[in-house]
Amino acid sequence: MGKGKINITLDKDLIEYAKIYAEKQRTSVSEIFTQFILNLKRTTEREPTEIILADPDFRESLLETISKIRSGKIKWFKYKEVF
């Protein structure tokens, strides 16, 4: 599928946050928006969300976390304890 270009207007603080977030996640701002729109599309079309994870370590960690949640072997923290 070919790619196109779209221009959007955001508050400056949101632009900076998106850039910082993308850098920390080792991705691009474009990819953040792509994933957001794909999720919106899947929700709207009532398609099940697929697990699309490029990093095998992240996928393994996610599946391990899900397993711990299901088994009750995970410790939950309050919001203030995390942030």
73/30 Cα distance (integer angstroms): 37
pLDDT in tens, 29-83: 998 988 888 877 776 666 554 555 566 777 788 888 888 888 887 777 788 887 7
pLDDT average, residue stretch 4-27: 91
pLDDT in tens, 17-30: 999 999 988 899 99
Residue ranges per domain, the chain? 12-82
Q: What pLDDT is recorded for position 55?
A: 63
The CA–CA distances, whole Å, from 83 to 15, 26, 27, 77, 80 equal 22, 22, 23, 10, 5
Q: What pLDDT is recorded for position 49?
A: 47
- Helix 12-24 and helix 29-44: axis angle, to 10°? 100
